Amino acid sequence: MYPKIQINLNGIIENIKKTKELCEQNGISLAVVTKLLADNKEIVQAIVNSGVDYICDSRIQNLISYKDLNVEKWLIRSPSTEEIPDTVRYADVSLNSEINTIINLNKEAKNQNKIHKVILMYELGDLREGCLRPELEELTGQAMCLSNIELYGLGVNLSCYGEIVPSSENMKELEEVVLELEKKYNIKFKIVSGGNSSSFKMLENKKIPCTINNLRMGEAIYLGNIPCFEEKIEALNQDNFIVKAEIIELKEKPSVPWGECGLSNSFGEHSTFIDRGTRKRAIIGLGKQDVKLDGITPLDEEIIVLGGSSDHIILDVSDCKREYKLGDIIEFMPNYAGVLSCMTSKYVLKEIVR
């Protein structure tokens, strides 16, 4: 059945084991980010069985699905007010930067007779979540006073929004903040989480300060790629996901639409068309509702992706050596956004290959 995303589970597990070994050589624990998998318990169970220390997800609904898995679970997006009861119930740890949220987590933890672990997020320049230095100092003191909150650690996020990459300078800043807070409050953070897959180069080059003892990784593990740098990791598998879709129309057509032109297409976009004359165009049964269009690249390098709509992607196959036929399957290599969208779409079959 098509469209589908084929998942090489053995390749993913091999990447985890190699990455975990590299982390351990640097005194760092590995937290595997599972949000890309969109609640696929079979894959997450295999990840847990591989011996990882922690799994992380941004959606509490996914952690609820994983409630029976024997591993420490982190909610890596700060919970909304309505998510707080489930966060305490199903997440061992949550990442936070707002005192009111932490106070509410403490109240709920009291109600559930539990201790909830919190990692405070420090803003290191990428401008997603995190406190600036003075606020972080105050927040640390406040969190320590809450009876049902364990101040578990300190974390940062890089590369996801502002494209700021890990560097010797910002890692040194993180180290200074950690040491300053530990001295002021006479504490020792169990976790200092210094970033994500974009830290892989520093990890390989042994340039991460010893104060930082954790990394949260997804893209490096699943795709063998370092985000922001867009560099392939030679030691890791890069072909763990392949997107496949069937040709549902194959016809010779002009390359430029004709008739009166409106302001935009169905997605509010204005398109520019190149007149290549009459071309052989293949339409596949996969669309923007299922996949980020610029997140997939045809394995046949002679295919030109012309565009798409909700349910269709239009390809130019005129220059291909292969003589495509109606019903043939086109294969694509997805990037992170391509995998995420396909895994999230209920219309794309997930085929796990071991």
Would you give the end-to-end CA distance of the chain in angstroms?
A: 19
Q: Where are the domains of the chain?
A: 9-232, 241-353
Same-fold call for 9-232 versus 241-353: no
pLDDT value for 3:
98
Q: 309's torsion region: left (phi>0), alpha (psi -120 to 50) or beta?
A: beta
* 120-153 confidence digits (pLDDT tens): 999 999 999 999 999 999 999 999 999 999 999 9
Q: Does domain 9-232 have CATH number 3.40.50.720?
A: no
* 180-199 confidence digits (pLDDT tens): 999 999 999 999 999 999 99
Residue 258 CB-half CA count within 13 A = 6
Which class for 67: exposed (0-12), middle (13-18), buried (19 or more C-beta within 10 A)? exposed
- Selecting from 2.30.130, 1.10.3720, 1.10.260, 2.40.30, what CATH number does the domain 241-353 have? 2.40.30
Q: Going by C-beta distance under 8 Å and a sequence separation of 6 or more, which residues neighbour residue 78? A: 94, 95, 96, 97, 98, 101, 121, 129
Q: For this structure, is 188 an active site residue?
A: no
* 229-255 confidence digits (pLDDT tens): 999 999 999 999 999 999 999 999 999
Overall average pLDDT of the 27-37 stretch:
98
* 299-325 confidence digits (pLDDT tens): 999 999 999 999 999 999 999 999 999
Q: Looking at 4, 20, 35, 73, which residue is catalytic?
A: 35
